[in-house]
Structure 1
Amino acid sequence: MTLPFRRRPRKRRTRSTNVSTRHGANRIRAAQREVRGVDSAMQRARIYRHPAGSIVRIETHISIVYLAGRFAYKIIKPVAPGFADFTAADTRRHCCEAQVRLNRPLARGLYLGVLPIRRRGRSLMLESKGHTVEYAVKMRRFDESGLFSSLARRGALSPRDIDRATQRLAAWHVHAPRDAPLARYGGAALLRAQVDAVNASLQARCNAPALRDIGAWCAQQLAQLADAIDRRRVDGFVRACHGDLHLDNVMRWRGEVSMFDCIDFDDALRWIDMANDIAFLVMDLRARAGTRLSNRLLNGWLEATGDYAALELMPLYVVYRALVRALVAFLYSKSASHTKAAAAARDAARYLEIAAGETRKPPPVLLLCHGFSGSGKSVASRALAELSGAICLSSDVERKRLASTPAAHARLDGAHYTREARHAVYGHLLRLASSVVQAGYSVIVDATFLEHAHRRDFFTLAERLRVEARVLDFHAAPHILAERVVTRQRDRRDASDADTSTLSLQLNTAEPLTSDEMARTLAFDTIVPVEAFDGPDFWKRVLDLMSSPVAEPAPDICRIRCKSENSRYAAEQDSRPTR
């Protein structure tokens, strides 16, 4: 029996749909023609109302910058790269205005205003009468050698640069506006959509098999951490952030560190968890300047903000930011020359390796500093944290945080050093150490640990969390201890309040390590040059403990080819030495 077959009626496009689509395409083509004319005019000195000299043109995937004399001008291209749509003239104008308004807090004096580009007869002029055809952001020109990306490339990015950036960002994050325009900003659902979009775009553009595993890891993390993400949003950690903190947007300028070119076209990418914001710079430093400066930034930011709970989400945010930069590299490679496309592929490969490495971190360990005031444990533990990636918790800093002391160098009175106050500080450190270890990070607790009860509590924590624990015993001769304490008292920036009377009390009342504790102790003589703390040889026993067999990156992760490109090129990991 033959069943009747009903032919599905052909779907007809309405005339209005065709007209709308055609008008939209015509509008975009007209805008692109107009901007081509603007681009040509901006490369001629006569458009400017000041000496322009030799004009330098710099193009990115969404904008064009013209360096003319003492100033720089930026126009937005009428493009729709996927994460935003700049094809409408009003959108580009609003974007320019937002750039000036939003960037001024972190880049004081850099952004000067928005200027109309107007047509006068057949000519285009800035700041003149006539019909406005485009808008440009006017900025002061700066020396590009001061960009963190340039400094990192030359090996000239210093710990001092990182400390200044840390202080600037921490102060901004702590006081940043918290009244997000929409409640969903910074929430788990929106973050999931953002991560999924980046993953999908990357998988459509490159053939790295590692992307599949990274995508699966992201999905698992987003599911497990959804409540924590939303809880931080409710608790006020979603704030008006920079949103695009990579090394090309941070620089030395006028004696300080400035951040510019923040996200201005999408509130959803700017109103984010401040941990998401700092994770971008942590990730990019790791990729382009080495792990030591990256670790220094993260530890400094955590100490300044006290937001150690952010570590629970940090691996997810680091992976997300690495994927974002990999996607940007692939987008750039589409329009780049063969040589620049190869360089972009190397960048993408490096970012994907950072992402893959974050998904397979070694198990954490718990390290307890032990020693008298002046033993060098604070200087040494910070150097170890910078070298190893561990998180350093300072009893001096946390004591003042508990006392709500506004400045780390402010001196506390004797009421903060009673037996009860001392136990409160160690209890606080215990809770912080627990959260850090459970977030997957090794932790160094910088305290004297001269009482057996305090050491016992932390060893009990290690047993409960099933992690290795060690005592790092720092020692020096008594006269050396006294000299260091006196010298440190003269340094107003030091957080320690210990003086020679404090040291004398410690020497007389310290409870020695037990035989069981000695079996888990690594001793360090600190009567060495301070530079020795920066070398891995000094810390070999600790670093061996902190490392564990972890699978190497799959070979496929280091060879990537753009699906949309016909050229084939190797994208090996960048061979620049790390700091």
Structure 2
Amino acid sequence: MGPTENTVCTVGIKNDDQSEAIRFLQDGAGRGAPAQRIDTHGAMIFLIGQEALKIKRAVKYDYMDLSTVEKRHAMLEREFELNRGTAPSIYKSVLPLVRAPDGTVTMGGSGDILEWILCMNRFPQEAELTQIAQDRGIGDDLAQALGTAVADYHETTPVKRLNAYSLIGEILDELDRVFAAMNMALGGDPEAFIAQSRQIWADRANDLAQRSREGHVRRCHGDLHLRNIVMIDGVPTPFDALEFDERLGTCDTLYDLAFLLMDLDHLGMTHAANLVLNAYLARRSLDLSESGLSLLPLYLSLRAAIRAMVEVQTSAVASLGNDNKRDARAYLTQALAYLEPTAPTLVAIGGYSGTGKTTIARAISHQIGNSPGAIHIRSDVLRKRLLHRDPLDRLGNEGYTPGITDRTYDAIRRQARQVLDQGHSAILDAVHGDPEARHAAEAVAKASGCDFIGIWLESSTQTRLSRVTSRKPDASDADAAVVNKQAVADPGPINWHRVDTDQPMDAVIDVVSAILKSKTAAETGIRGGKHVG
């Protein structure tokens, strides 16, 4: 979990003096260039030219033993093994640092082993997701790429036959133990967090067991936040997976993702977190009953609580004072807020092609229900998936027969029910071009005992033609012919909120957001884009 105030920490152990190795690396490791040193509680990284050379620190914590050269070697080899496959352009090799018979110190070769070094290629700071978030934020395209990248990463990880219920229980036990000594530093109410978390953990025992049975417990990254993701060749790439404890690194894949979602939410980037979650789920399965959404509030809360713990520990170890304690209290507040989920809502957005359904659904989804917002269910995407086609493949008339359209609407409504039944909100994004389709959407919410908000978008044929013909590649196959056909269609009586989208999209989004707030602020906790922490 991290160092605690009761941690046993031994440095400078006999026969493990690292001073000679540190001096060699600090002087540039024979590369003829100065080194920039980065210290963490368990490692030292030396940035030299285009290289990053990492050694483990000779320490022993209650959760991590690096007290001998052999143990540090084993941890570096495990770190290399875990990360080499996913980030091969970063991780190069593990080499011994040796003192040759003539007394010279070199990397590799024969002689007395002083230390082991993980050799990595250095990447530019501006490629780090933390730096990107700070400089320009996480845009929509990057957020969706992040969700897809994490889903692909999890697809490659090995399934572990461990009990998700027990794994979460162990984390709660550790937080309970550590928080007992942190009441003053944390402020807030850590006892309330522990009590509420344990209650939800017990209530969700069956859901946790189901996640285990379905193979979602895997040897994951374990430390998947923005700082441990870097852009390589335009692709978000996780690195620096947790290597020192196999049990801590083994978890539900959604719990692994929750660290990234919580991190974005804490930074006020809930919209980006929502896009990450939606892209992740879209990549993983058509069956959202297996999505684990009922567990997401608990998972997000635990991740925030762990960050609160780490901030207090860092303050104690590094003597950083009030800033870290203030951050810790904000994280604990965030953790408690996640444990008070709101009732789910179904929002349905209808309208003909080019009225802006998908643009608006993406823009407002983070405002609805539990953080990081509603699951966006789009008929254009589901239609392609039902036909085993890529979302960007164009379908001919055979993809739009009445039978295929009926199957598509059945699928989006089924997904909505699956999401709502897990206590999470959803947005249906489809034309809903007749009263029967609109009534069927309303019936989904009624059957689940949830609030419903229907929004009908409308704009002139000229506006819709302009939007459709200027689209970048997209899952929608609508073209000018479709728009012209819809221009003479009769949608029948409409009792949903009608919104004119001939105005600029920012203004439309403001109108729709106001509808959501006026209808559901008291009942469902509509958020105006701010993080809960």
**1:89 aligned partner:** 69
Q: How many residues align?
A: 511
**2:322 aligned partner:** 342
From 108, 118, 122, give the equivalent of 2:98.
Answer: 118
From 447, 459, 464, give the equivalent of 1:481.
Answer: 464
**2:3 aligned partner:** none
Deviation at 1:477, TM superposition (A): 0.7
Residues 56 and 72 of structure 2 are in contact (CA less than 8 Å); yes or no, is this contact kept in structure 1? yes
Cα RMSD after superposing both structures: 2.8
**3-state DSSP of counterpart to 1:480:** helix
Deviation at 1:194, TM superposition (A): 2.1
Partners of 1:426 and 1:524 lie apart in 2 by: 23
**2:356 aligned partner:** 376
Query: Deviation digits for residues 77-103 of structure 1, max 9, x if unmatched?
Result: 233333333234333212111212221
Question: Structure 2 matches for 1:254-293, cutoff 5 A?
Answer: 254-293=233-272
From 400, 407, 424, give the equivalent of 1:424.
Answer: 407
Question: Structure 2 matches for 1:455-494, cutoff 5 A?
Answer: 455-488=438-471, 491=472, 493-494=473-474
Deviation at 1:435, TM superposition (A): 2.3
1:153 equivalenced with 2:134 (yes/no): yes
Partners of 2:211 and 2:134 lie apart in 1 by: 36
Between 478-487 and 64-73, the greater mean CA deviation after superposition: 478-487
Deviation at 1:189, TM superposition (A): 1.4
From 368, 377, 392, give the equivalent of 1:393.
Answer: 377
Deviation at 1:446, TM superposition (A): 0.3
**3-state DSSP of counterpart to 2:18:** helix
Q: What is the TM-score when the length of structure 2 is the normalising length?
A: 0.88
From 198, 204, 226, give the equivalent of 2:205.
Answer: 226
Deviation at 1:498, TM superposition (A): 2.5
Identity in percent: 27
Letter in 2 for 1:412: L
Between 107-116 and 385-394, the greater mean CA deviation after superposition: 385-394
From 268, 275, 281, give the equivalent of 1:302.
Answer: 281
Letter in 1 for 2:241: C
**1:555 aligned partner:** none
Residues 385 and 392 of structure 1 are in contact (CA less than 8 Å); yes or no, is this contact kept in structure 2? yes
**3-state DSSP of counterpart to 1:153:** helix
Residues 100 and 137 of structure 1 are in contact (CA less than 8 Å); yes or no, is this contact kept in structure 2? yes
Change (3 A) 1:530 1:215: same
**3-state DSSP of counterpart to 1:539:** helix
Deviation at 1:372, TM superposition (A): 0.7
**3-state DSSP of counterpart to 1:548:** helix
Partners of 1:550 and 1:486 lie apart in 2 by: 37
Question: Structure 2 matches for 1:497-536, cutoff 5 A?
Answer: 497-514=477-494, 518=495, 521-532=496-507, 536=510
Change (3 A) 1:525 1:30: same
Gapped runs of 5+ residues in structure 1?
A: 1-24, 552-575
**2:124 aligned partner:** 143
From 184, 205, 218, give the equivalent of 1:239.
Answer: 218
Partners of 2:459 and 2:197 lie apart in 1 by: 47
Gapped runs of 5+ residues in structure 2?
A: 1-7
Residues 250 and 259 of structure 1 are in contact (CA less than 8 Å); yes or no, is this contact kept in structure 2? yes
1:129 equivalenced with 2:113 (yes/no): no
Letter in 2 for 1:116: P
**3-state DSSP of counterpart to 1:398:** helix
Partners of 2:298 and 2:455 lie apart in 1 by: 31
Query: Deviation digits for residues 176-202 of structure 1, max 9, x if unmatched?
Result: 13343xx21x52112211232133223
Residues 246 and 280 of structure 1 are in contact (CA less than 8 Å); yes or no, is this contact kept in structure 2? yes
**2:30 aligned partner:** 49
Change (3 A) 1:348 1:36: farther
**3-state DSSP of counterpart to 2:17:** helix
Change (3 A) 1:302 1:541: same
1:541 equivalenced with 2:515 (yes/no): yes
Residues 408 and 495 of structure 1 are in contact (CA less than 8 Å); yes or no, is this contact kept in structure 2? yes
Change (3 A) 1:158 1:404: same
1:197 equivalenced with 2:170 (yes/no): no
Residues 117 and 125 of structure 1 are in contact (CA less than 8 Å); yes or no, is this contact kept in structure 2? yes
1:63 equivalenced with 2:38 (yes/no): no
**1:101 aligned partner:** 81
**3-state DSSP of counterpart to 2:362:** helix
Partners of 1:391 and 1:382 lie apart in 2 by: 10
Residues 370 and 472 of structure 1 are in contact (CA less than 8 Å); yes or no, is this contact kept in structure 2? yes
Change (3 A) 1:454 1:156: closer
Deviation at 1:443, TM superposition (A): 1.5
Partners of 1:448 and 1:32 lie apart in 2 by: 72
Query: Deviation digits for residues 528-576 of structure 1, max 9, x if unmatched?
Result: 233445x64652121333422799xxxxxxxxxxxxxxxxxxxxxxxx9
Deviation at 1:272, TM superposition (A): 2.3
**3-state DSSP of counterpart to 2:113:** strand
Residues 61 and 331 of structure 1 are in contact (CA less than 8 Å); yes or no, is this contact kept in structure 2? no
From 407, 415, 418, give the equivalent of 1:435.
Answer: 418
Letter in 2 for 1:284: D
Deviation at 1:149, TM superposition (A): 2.1
Partners of 1:386 and 1:494 lie apart in 2 by: 21
**2:4 aligned partner:** none
Deviation at 1:377, TM superposition (A): 0.9
Letter in 1 for 2:298: L
Partners of 1:529 and 1:76 lie apart in 2 by: 55
Q: Give the structure with higher Rg (CA).
A: 1
**1:318 aligned partner:** 300
Deviation at 1:133, TM superposition (A): 2.5
Residues 149 and 235 of structure 2 are in contact (CA less than 8 Å); yes or no, is this contact kept in structure 1? no
**3-state DSSP of counterpart to 1:91:** helix
Residues 129 and 229 of structure 2 are in contact (CA less than 8 Å); yes or no, is this contact kept in structure 1? yes
Letter in 1 for 2:134: R
